[in-house]
């Protein structure tokens, strides 16, 4: 027992040393750096389209790399690919397991993936030879539910799971390439860097971790939240991380200086954050909450500059399209709305 | 009568519960007899029900207290109803806050969602059995279906369930009529929140987390790994905040005018006007790009490369300077990284012969150490074998060629030729017409195929002509 105590003390002292080292590099705060910038004026976004067609709660949506296509997953057991401008359904894919919790669109537009309580990630080929959408691969090796999946390319996908690990898969062979273990609680969300060389994951141990895809190592661990980290995303330049948590706050961390920069919170917001997405320039942060609203924050000044209210139930997923033109929100009221 | 609850909520296991602490504080305030929502007695079906509020009053109180407008207050109020803190008296299945005179009551803390006991199926079965006992046929269709299901798979416990239900029913009968009605309403509201009728709103996430992060049993192995990780973290290089924050702010300010949420885009935002001229003008294969696009090319080399039109322009510039081999090498390396595993061996050989052998037709100028590493790696080629060389070449282009490009006549000419499409303001009628006339749009797959054919043609044209084959042809003739 004495040895364990010693190890524990050593770990604690190292953690303190890291905190001291971080402080040493913090020669300015974000507030000081933007003291001269004015707050962005009130942003009014209106619902331009409502996508109707799901019959149950929508758990996830993801924009494609094209300009108007997105995929959404709902617990009625359907994965629907939408052409959002015309609100037509391009594909409606029936799933084997209706307990789906996540979906993803490949950057090339050829594949979509989904997964959930069946512990598997199923990959569907949208551009099959005879026009049918079929299951291309079923990646099964997680021992917990699949909370999020994101494509790195047409041959690689990263999944995060309730068994506290993230896995990088090779789609062609259907095997695991790398297992990223290190979280102490269920991994709830993940995001891939704009240059596809690294990814971040948020978990129920109140931390977010930044991993290098090729080495398989965790390069940064970011703590500061007081509850589960539900949503995570990269800042558009790839050097910042945005996290949203059940403690009703979002935080911005900087990777290069290893600091927590700013917290987005407000006394009137009492509900946890379920999803978030930055705008194209990074100036605006759109975050969906359990109180059925989406709040728009000025990322530099940490002030609320807008609200998107229109859903009748929890906003479960949000995404900004690749050219930054529109944002799509999906909710437990079974509707997707496009805002601009 | 104020209902208070100050139990501790160590609900780390169950999702969404920590933020409900804040909601509870608000609900407690709402119930304060002096400063809370006004509650009166209401007569409903012969019995008088105490402490009833109207939807309007609740909304007005929330809007006043939290200083928000009516829409937000409506959303917050609906959330309170959906989570079960307030329940409606009429139309009890629809869990929304109606901003009119309909009646609501506060739920007793016993039935609040954060209590330590979870709403188990057994409790639900007991509840349904009790209601069935009271008067046969009061169960709704969906409730009857669930009741039958429970009878099937909770069969071993059925005696216990019936016994509990009978006990509760008897105890209930001994209460006063008014209390009984109140308790029945509360229980019914609780179960509507926990076990919602089909196709109804439900705000509760019934899924618990798999791993308990409060589990304090740590192994020796865990501590050892943590220590190694922390030591590595200590040794990691950090940048001063001024530098990195400056970069962050600079990035935001550079892209500010290109963010469609912050600045209007010309000619018109397709989502607003249903007219996709904007997307037509910004296709990857367009001849003359827009001014905003050309401006974006000057932000960074990656922006230039990510835009196919920009890449084309850059290659034109390089052709004039006779230094196209760096770009070609970078593209070939990218193909290897993202290409299929089967073609990797061939690709690496082609790249080796074209770019790396001394005296190669498109020999790239990289330093000796990188060249040595790359050649050695190519004996056992894998996807990322060209990484070092690719980064070196990219940095060369970034530091030198990129800036010369921005000052070159090619770029300046493009800036002059770039069009600024005029701003269109469509009236509502025109927007509708646009929606009707809209074409299906260009499928991204078609654009990609177009680009691929163009690229292949360019590759073929750029390949060094093999003199020996031509000589053979001439000789044979």
Residue A143 lies in a domain: yes
Contact flag B244-A17 (C-beta cutoff 8 Å): no
| Residue of A21, A154, A288, A313 to mutate, interface with B, max B Cβ within 10 Å | A313
| End-of-domain residue from the set B172, B206, B240 | B206
The closest CB to that of A14, out of B72, B96, B230, belongs to: B230
CATH number of the domain enclosing A135: 2.130.10.10
Q: Is the predicted pLDDT of residue B180 greater than 60, yes or no?
A: yes
CATH number of the domain enclosing B320: 1.10.167.10
Residue A104 lies in a domain: yes
Q: Is the predicted pLDDT of residue B463 greater than 80, yes or no?
A: no
Q: Is the predicted pLDDT of residue B460 greater than 80, yes or no?
A: no
Q: How many other C-beta atoms lie within 10 A of the C-beta of residue A291? A: 27
Segments in chain A forming alpha helices (H): 2-25, 30-33
Q: Is the predicted pLDDT of residue B6 greater than 70, yes or no?
A: no
Contact flag B249-A37 (C-beta cutoff 8 Å): yes
pLDDT band at A104; cut points 50, 70, 90? very high
Q: Is the predicted pLDDT of residue B12 greater than 60, yes or no?
A: no
pLDDT in tens, B58-116: 888 888 888 877 877 887 787 788 788 888 887 777 777 777 777 888 888 888 776 65
Residues B325 and B453 placed together within one structural domain of the fold: yes
Of the listed ranges A162-171, A217-226, A331-340, B217-226, the one predicted with least confidence: B217-226
Contact flag A246-B230 (C-beta cutoff 8 Å): no
The closest CB to that of A14, out of B234, B240, B440, belongs to: B234
Which chain B residue is nearest to residue A36, measuring alpha carbons?
Answer: B249
A245 touches A226 (CB < 8 A)? yes
pLDDT for residue B380 = 83
The closest CB to that of A291, out of B76, B209, B258, belongs to: B76
Q: Which residues pair with A159 in a beta bridge?
A: A149, A167
Q: Is the predicted pLDDT of residue B42 greater than 70, yes or no?
A: yes
Which chain A residue is nearest to residue B74, measuring alpha carbons?
Answer: A309
The closest CB to that of B252, out of A15, A272, A281, belongs to: A281
Spatial distance between the Cα atoms of A164 and A176, rounded to a whole number of angstroms: 16
Contact flag B258-A281 (C-beta cutoff 8 Å): yes
pLDDT for residue B445 = 58
pLDDT band at B5; cut points 50, 70, 90? very low
**Positive/negative CA dihedral, B48, B49, B52, B55:** negative
pLDDT band at B378; cut points 50, 70, 90? confident
Contact flag B229-A182 (C-beta cutoff 8 Å): yes
Q: Is the predicted pLDDT of residue B44 greater than 80, yes or no?
A: no
pLDDT band at B1; cut points 50, 70, 90? very low
Nearest residue to B303 via CA among A321, A190, A238: A238
Residue B249 lies in a domain: no
Nearest residue to B311 via CA among B405, B421, B404: B405
Spatial distance between the Cα atoms of A95 and A211, rounded to a whole number of angstroms: 31
Which chain B residue is nearest to residue A195, measuring alpha carbons?
Answer: B302
Which chain B residue is nearest to residue A18, measuring alpha carbons?
Answer: B234
The closest CB to that of A26, out of B20, B78, B241, belongs to: B241
Q: Which of A9-13, B267-271, B430-434 has the highest mean pLDDT?
A: A9-13
Contact flag B18-A11 (C-beta cutoff 8 Å): no
| End-of-domain residue from the set B166, B181, B206 | B206
Residues B350 and B457 placed together within one structural domain of the fold: yes
Q: What residues of chain B lie within 8 A of the CB of A220, using their CB?
A: 233, 236
Cis ω before B267 (30° cut-off from 0): yes
Q: What percentage of chain A reaches a pLDDT higher than 90?
A: 47
Residue B99 lies in a domain: yes
- Please state the domain count of chain A: 1
pLDDT for residue B444 = 54
Q: Is the predicted pLDDT of residue B320 greater than 90, yes or no?
A: no
Residue B397 lies in a domain: yes
Pick A151 or B41 by higher pLDDT: A151
The closest CB to that of B252, out of A145, A186, A283, belongs to: A283
CATH number of the domain enclosing B138: 1.10.10.10
Which chain B residue is nearest to residue A49, measuring alpha carbons?
Answer: B271
Pick B349 or B451 by higher pLDDT: B349
Residues B191 and B321 placed together within one structural domain of the fold: no
The closest CB to that of A8, out of B199, B223, B438, belongs to: B223
Which chain A residue is nearest to residue B307, measuring alpha carbons?
Answer: A323
Chains A and B: how many Cβ contacts under 8 Å? 257
pLDDT band at A234; cut points 50, 70, 90? very high
Which chain B residue is nearest to residue A286, measuring alpha carbons?
Answer: B261
Q: Is the predicted pLDDT of residue B448 greater than 70, yes or no?
A: no
Q: What residues of chain A lie within 8 A of the CB of B224, using their CB?
A: 7
Residue B124 lies in a domain: yes
B116 touches B86 (CB < 8 A)? no
Residue B167 lies in a domain: yes
**Positive/negative CA dihedral, B432, B434, B436, B438:** negative
Of the listed ranges A122-136, B192-206, B267-281, the one predicted with least confidence: B192-206
B100 touches B55 (CB < 8 A)? yes
Pick A287 or B339 by higher pLDDT: A287
- What are the φ/ψ torsions at residue A253 (nearest 5 degrees)? -115, 150
Residue with tokens 């349904």: B128
For chain A, count helices (H), then strands (E): 2, 28
Pick B462 or A150 by higher pLDDT: A150
pLDDT band at B237; cut points 50, 70, 90? confident
DSSP labels, A180-200? EE--SS-EEEEEE-TTSSEEE
Domain hosting A314: range is: 54-339
Contact flag B201-A312 (C-beta cutoff 8 Å): yes
Spatial strand order in the sheet of A303-309: A273-278, A284-289, A293-298, A303-309
Smallest CA–CA distance, residue A110 to chain B, in Å, is 9
Spatial distance between the Cα atoms of A103 and A97, rounded to a whole number of angstroms: 13
| Residue of A33, A291, A301, A329 to mutate, interface with B, max B Cβ within 10 Å | A291
| Residue of B13, B18, B19 to mutate, interface with A, max A Cβ within 10 Å | B19
Contact flag A163-B218 (C-beta cutoff 8 Å): no
- Please state the domain count of chain B: 2
Which chain A residue is nearest to residue B284, measuring alpha carbons?
Answer: A66
Q: Is the predicted pLDDT of residue A259 greater than 70, yes or no?
A: yes
Residues B305 and B157 placed together within one structural domain of the fold: no
The closest CB to that of A292, out of B67, B79, B209, belongs to: B79
Mean pLDDT of A142-163: 92
Contact flag B249-A300 (C-beta cutoff 8 Å): yes
Q: Which conformational region is residue A17 in: left (phi greater than 0), alpha (psi within -120 to 50 degrees), or beta? A: alpha
pLDDT for residue B214 = 57
Q: Is the predicted pLDDT of residue A139 greater than 90, yes or no?
A: yes
* Token couple for B47: 């019995």
Name, in order, each residue with C-beta under 8 angstroms of A96's C-beta and a sequence gap of 6 or more. A118, A122, A135
Q: What residues of chain B lie within 8 A of the CB of A48, using their CB?
A: 271-272
Contact flag A312-B241 (C-beta cutoff 8 Å): no
pLDDT for residue A80 = 94
Spatial distance between the Cα atoms of B126 and B158, rounded to a whole number of angstroms: 9
Residue B390 lies in a domain: yes
Nearest residue to A218 via CA among A230, A231, A202: A202
Contact flag A325-B260 (C-beta cutoff 8 Å): yes
Contact flag A14-B209 (C-beta cutoff 8 Å): no
Record the pTM.
0.80
Q: What residues of chain A lie within 8 A of the CB of B271, using their CB?
A: 48-49, 85, 325-326, 338, 340
Contact flag B234-A18 (C-beta cutoff 8 Å): yes
In this structure, what DSSP letter does residue B93 have? T
Pick B51 or B210 by higher pLDDT: B51
Mean pLDDT of B261-283: 77
pLDDT band at B164; cut points 50, 70, 90? confident
B30-65: string of b/e by CB count within 10 Å (b at 16+)? bbeeeebbebeebeeeeeebebbbbbebbbbbbbeb
Residue A200 vs residues A65, A235, A253, A288: alpha-carbon distances, Å: 20, 11, 12, 19
| Residue of A282, A295, A321 to mutate, interface with B, max B Cβ within 10 Å | A282
The closest CB to that of A282, out of B19, B252, B272, belongs to: B252
Smallest CA–CA distance, residue A46 to chain B, in Å, is 10
Residue B405 lies in a domain: yes
| End-of-domain residue from the set B206, B229, B255 | B206
pLDDT in tens, A294-315: 999 998 888 899 888 888 888 9
pLDDT band at A81; cut points 50, 70, 90? very high
pLDDT for residue B33 = 72
Pick A7 or A74 by higher pLDDT: A74
- What torsion do the CA atoms of A88, A90, A96, A100 make, to the nearest 10 degrees? -60
Mean pLDDT of A33-52: 84
Residue A301 lies in a domain: yes
Domain hosting B301: range is: 289-418+442-467
Q: What residues of chain A lie within 8 A of the CB of B202, using their CB?
A: 313, 332
Mean pLDDT of A112-118: 93
The closest CB to that of B251, out of A33, A219, A282, belongs to: A282
Task: Name the average pLDDT for chain B.
Answer: 78
Which chain A residue is nearest to residue B199, measuring alpha carbons?
Answer: A56
DSSP labels, A279-301? -SSSSEEEEEETTSEEEEEETTT
Residue B50 lies in a domain: yes
The closest CB to that of A48, out of B209, B271, B438, belongs to: B271
Give long-range contacts, CB 8 A cutoff, 24+ apart: A123-128: A123/A157, A123/A171, A124/A79, A124/A93, A126/A81, A126/A91, A127/B445
Spatial distance between the Cα atoms of A157 and A154, rounded to a whole number of angstroms: 8
Of the listed ranges A38-52, A153-167, A177-191, B26-40, the one predicted with least confidence: B26-40
Residues B177 and B293 placed together within one structural domain of the fold: no
Smallest CA–CA distance, residue B418 to chain A, in Å, is 20
Contact flag A279-B262 (C-beta cutoff 8 Å): yes
């Amino acid at each position: 027992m004495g040895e364990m105590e010693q190890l524990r003390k050593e770990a604690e002292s190292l953690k303190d040393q890291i905190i001291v080292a971080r402080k040493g590099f913090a020669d300015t705060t974000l507030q000081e750096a933007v003291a001269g910038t004015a707050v962005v004026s009130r942003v009014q976004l209106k619902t331009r389209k409502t996508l109707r067609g799901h019959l149950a709660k929508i758990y996830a949506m993801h924009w494609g790399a094209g300009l108007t296509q997105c995929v959404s997953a709902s617990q009625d057991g359907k994965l629907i690919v939408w052409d959002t401008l015309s609100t037509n359904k391009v594909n409606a894919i029936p799933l084997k397991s209706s307990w789906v919790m996540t979906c993803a669109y490949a950057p090339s537009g050829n594949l979509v993936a989904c997964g959930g309580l069946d512990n598997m990630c199923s990959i569907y080929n949208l551009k099959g030879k005879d026009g049918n959408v079929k299951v291309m691969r079923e990646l099964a090796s997680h021992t917990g539910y699949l909370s999020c999946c994101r494509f790195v390319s047409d041959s690689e996908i990263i999944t995060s799971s309730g068994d506290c690990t993230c896995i990088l898969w090779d789609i062609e062979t259907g095997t695991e390439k790398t297992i990223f273990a290190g979280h102490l609680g269920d991994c709830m969300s993940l995001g891939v860097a704009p240059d596809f060389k690294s990814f971040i994951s948020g978990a129920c141990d109140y931390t977010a971790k930044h991993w290098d895809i090729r080495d398989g190592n965790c390069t940064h661990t970011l703590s500061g939240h007081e509850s589960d980290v539900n949503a995570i995303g990269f800042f558009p330049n790839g050097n910042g991380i945005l996290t949203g948590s059940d403690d009703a706050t979002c935080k911005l961390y900087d990777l290069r200086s290893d600091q927590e920069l700013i917290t987005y919170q407000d006394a009137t917001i009492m509900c946890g954050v379920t999803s978030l997405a930055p705008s194209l320039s990074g100036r605006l942060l759109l975050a969906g909450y359990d109180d059925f609203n989406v709040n728009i924050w000025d990322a530099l000044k940490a002030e609320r500059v807008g609200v998107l209210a229109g859903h009748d139930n929890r906003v479960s997923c949000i995404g900004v399209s690749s050219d930054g033109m529109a944002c799509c929100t999906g909710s437990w009221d079974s509707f997707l709305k496009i805002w601009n | 009568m104020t209902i208070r609850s100050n139990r501790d909520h160590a609900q780390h296991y169950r999702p969404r519960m920590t933020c409900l602490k804040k909601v509870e504080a608000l609900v407690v305030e709402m119930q304060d007899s002096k400063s809370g929502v006004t509650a009166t007695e209401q007569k409903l079906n012969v019995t008088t029900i105490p402490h009833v509020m109207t939807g309007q009053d609740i909304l007005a109180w929330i809007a006043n207290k939290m200083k928000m407008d009516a829409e937000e207050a409506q959303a917050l109020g609906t959330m309170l109803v959906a989570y079960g803190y307030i329940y409606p008296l009429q139309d009890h299945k629809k869990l929304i806050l109606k901003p009119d005179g309909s009646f609501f009551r506060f739920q007793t803390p016993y039935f609040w969602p954060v209590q330590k006991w979870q709403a188990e199926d057994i409790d639900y079965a007991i509840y349904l059995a009790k209601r069935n006992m009271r008067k046969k046929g009061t169960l709704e269709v969906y409730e009857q279906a669930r009741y039958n299901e429970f009878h099937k798979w909770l069969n071993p416990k059925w005696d216990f369930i019936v016994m509990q239900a009978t006990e509760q029913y008897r105890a209930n009968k001994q209460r006063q009529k008014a209390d009984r009605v109140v308790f029945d309403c509360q229980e019914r509201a609780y179960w509507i929140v926990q076990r919602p009728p089909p196709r109804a709103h439900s705000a509760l996430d019934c899924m618990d987390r798999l791993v308990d992060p409060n589990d304090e049993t740590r192994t020796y192995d865990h501590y050892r790994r943590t220590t190694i990780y922390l030591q590595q973290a200590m040794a990691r290089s950090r940048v001063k905040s001024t530098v990195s924050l400056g970069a962050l702010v600079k990035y935001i300010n550079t892209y500010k005018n290109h963010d469609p949420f912050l600045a209007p885009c010309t000619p018109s935002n397709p989502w607003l006007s249903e007219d996709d001229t904007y997307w037509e003008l910004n296709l990857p294969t367009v001849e003359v790009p827009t001014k905003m696009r050309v401006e974006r090319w000057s932000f960074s080399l990656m922006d230039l490369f990510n835009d196919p039109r920009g890449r084309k322009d850059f290659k034109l510039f390089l052709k004039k300077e006779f230094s196209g081999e760096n770009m070609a090498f970078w593209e070939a390396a990218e193909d290897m990284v993202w290409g299929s595993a089967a073609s990797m061996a061939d690709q690496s050989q082609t790249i080796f012969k074209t770019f790396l052998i001394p005296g190669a037709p498109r020999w790239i100028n990289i330093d000796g150490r990188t060249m040595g590493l790359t050649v050695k790696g190519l004996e056992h080629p894998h996807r990322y074998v060209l990484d070092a060389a690719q980064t070196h070449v990219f940095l060369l282009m970034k530091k030198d060629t990129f800036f010369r490009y921005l000052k070159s006549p090619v770029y300046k000419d493009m800036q002059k030729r770039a069009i600024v499409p005029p701003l269109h303001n469509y009236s509502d009628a025109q927007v509708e017409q646009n929606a009707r006339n809209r074409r299906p749009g260009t499928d991204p797959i078609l654009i990609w195929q177009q680009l691929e054919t163009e690229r292949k043609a360019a590759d073929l044209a750029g390949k060094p002509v093999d003199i020996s084959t031509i000589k053979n042809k001439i000789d044979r003739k």
